[in-house]
Structure 1
């Protein structure tokens, strides 16, 4: 099993590094084309818009598809679209292609989650998720470094091409992995909208039967929403409140990666002794405390402490929630379950990101960051309360 797990982690790592290179290069390309920070900011609204366009039907596709084949096809599609970006004549075409890429991303993420859950046995999932966090954190540090080197020796367009190659390599690695899906049962309904409606009813019915799973995964959605909204203020806080230069801001972000690496290694080492419920509850609370530490900072030293703590504690939070839904949600339903929740998550991200941005302009970045962190902390307290009330163990989803 671990042979395939390592191949999968390698593929995820290659894709993650390429994703960071692509993100940084795309930001620079749009800034060079327009000279507008607002134009760059619009890139971050495209992902939740893509989720809104796909999440009503993508879960139905994922739960009835060969997930390995679907992941390979999506990697190749994204690679081709990314490689075309440097050839596009205007910013409008770039936005359109970025939307297409994010549409593929919105399907690929839940498909990958389903495949991982089917491939990795239940008893190894927490350790795998911790290793995945370590791989992700390594990409967080290596991606920007590789992008910087490519910008120095070439241009942002060279970095874009590299991400296309990385996705093709990821697809090649997926070819070495086994097919894990059982023969697909054809849907009884031949009409697409009837099928989607029936699938939504199935997920709602499951949530009514599994209230605890509904509550905990709902908390995960709230955590993702608040983290995204608070993170959208981070660069402005560093530049306008702490008065950091670009180089100092880059230095600050490197400590986030260090925190993730240390936290991930601890998660890997103690995977068998750390309870999922503890990771969820206290991981959420401590991540919120770390955000408070960042937004009360008045100098770079305190900000470094805050950013490092965010990176450290977020690994416990992520490992807990990932392991929870892998063990709790049936794999036959997982794609539809994640996609339906993802629809509400995308709506909430757009809403709170816009609200936080408007409030930051009106009453100040620091105050909004602290208010957001306090709301995040409240979600953590609720998570502790909910997980402590659990009476039965998580069921297997083999």
Structure 2
């Protein structure tokens, strides 16, 4: 297993598990904090905005910065900065300073918007190319299981420790993550990166790279649609459990548990479905994507048409398997095919694109929820997913020969 035989990946893996756990228990604590001071459940929605805005804006401009610098050092610095901000957040909550607390949350999310694509660009530099699928599989499964567990037990931890102590614990998770990354054995890429070109030109170059590559256009299209669907599904999930099945918070916890089990099942089969040959062959990747996106769409539509809660949980479990396979295949494809000098920009642009998709999906569901039932909307999403898979296959069929994921006119210097 990759975690056992690759010490560098193991250190990154455990560091990120602690970080993800800290993120989720912090979120639960902040929801309670905002509700306590405002008395409004709707006011907690501002936490979503404070997270999504940096992911759309800051990540877009962070790509050249990520590509230029030593990824290991950058990740450690970002974790340490978030640790310091986490301590400041504890004091703001203790003083019940809502605006100060929200400002700190926003600044923390700005650094997180740089951290996430930096981590994605860093992973291929500490593992062998043949291990990329395994690495993404392990991380996706572990992150989602950690999210589900953190959400399920977060309320218990909060009640036992109190808001201030939970936020303090969350801050130290960033520090612990930095310590683990410090022990990663890492030699900066020997590929050369630009230095003398302007920042704007570097951004344009990254955009041109995506525009000219059918592989990257495919990745952006499929991931953007997946997050568009996720934006709606996250609301539909809560709506159907609370208003149709009338299962309350217990039902939500069961739903997250089913999600976690689905991702655990995904972890057992991902490597069997996603072969190296799929990542390297456009037609195979397009056919695989069309199959998975169709299966995901049909399972999604059936899931939100069911009238039995326990069958609903089974289909939630099943639905997350093809969705997860899509995620792993495209993340792995970028890691496998893009050069180290471009990964930062590609993943930064991808984050911006997918988060925009998430927001549009959420807003579209809100706009149409008074016209369409949850069941009807599920079938609409199924149709959109299948159409996207067909369009994606068309993109590949019209670009038989893929251009290399490199640029033609950079001025270079060694990465340091």
Q: How far is 1:262 from its partner?
A: 1.0
Q: TM-score, normalised by structure 1?
A: 0.88
Q: Provide the residue aligned with 2:409 in structure 1.
A: none
In the alignment, which residue of structure 1 is the partner of 2:196?
188
Pairs aligned (count): 392
Q: What RMSD in Å do the two structures reach over aligned CA positions?
A: 2.7
TM-score (norm 2): 0.85
Alignment of 1:221-300 (within 5 A): 221-268=224-271, 272=275, 275-276=278-279, 277=285, 280-300=289-309
Determine the structure 1 residue equivalent to 2:219.
Answer: 216
Deviations 1:229-273 (A, max 9, x none): 332332123212322211122112211100110111222466658
| Alignment equivalent of 1:43, drawn from 18, 23, 47 | 47
Matched, 1:101 2:108: yes
- Stretches of structure 2 that go unaligned for 5 or more consecutive residues are 280-284, 407-416
Q: Secondary structure at the match of 1:57?
A: helix
Offset from partner CA, 1:50-69 (integer Å, 9 cap, x none) = 12331342111101011111
Quick check: 2:63–2:203 contact (8 Å CA) kept in 1?
A: no
Please state whether the residue corresponding to 1:55 is helix, strand or coil: helix
Q: In the alignment, which residue of structure 2 is the partner of 1:304?
A: 313
Please name the residue that 2:412 is paired with: none
- Alignment partner of 1:66 is 2:73: no
Q: 2:139 aligns with which of 123, 132, 135?
A: 132
Shift in Å, 1:159: 2.1
Match of 2:121 in 1: 114
Q: Identify the match of residue 150 of structure 1 among 137, 144, 157.
A: 157
Structure 1 unaligned residues grouped into runs of 5+:
190-194
User: 2:89: which partner in 1?
Assistant: 85
Q: Which residue of 1 aligns with 2:38?
A: 34
CA contact (8 A) 1:279 1:320 kept: no
Please, which of 147, 162, 179 is the counterpart of residue 186 of structure 2? 179
Map of 1:354-365 to 2, 5 A cutoff? 354-365=363-374
Check whether the contact 2:290–2:386 (CA below 8 A) recurs between aligned residues: no
CA distance in 2, matches of 1:68, 1:377: 39
State the shift of 1:302 in Å. 2.7
Q: Given that residues 213 and 402 in structure 2 are in contact (C-alpha distance below 8 angstroms), is that contact kept between their aligned partners in structure 1?
A: no
The aligned counterpart of 1:199 is 202
SS for the counterpart of 1:159 is: helix
Mapped contact 1:237–1:365 kept (Cα < 8 A): yes
Q: Tell me which moved more, 232-241 or 326-335.
A: 232-241
Q: Does 1:52 align with 2:32?
A: no
Superposition deviation, residue 357 in structure 1: 1.4
In the TM superposition, what whole-angstrom CA distance separates every residue of 1:161-188 from its partner, at most 9, and x where no partner exists? 2211111111000000123423775621
- Indicate how the Cα distance of structure 1 residues 146 and 249 shifts in structure 2: closer, same or farther if over 3 A, else same: closer
* 1:371 corresponds to 2:415: no
Q: Distance in 1 between matches of 2:312 and 2:7?
A: 40
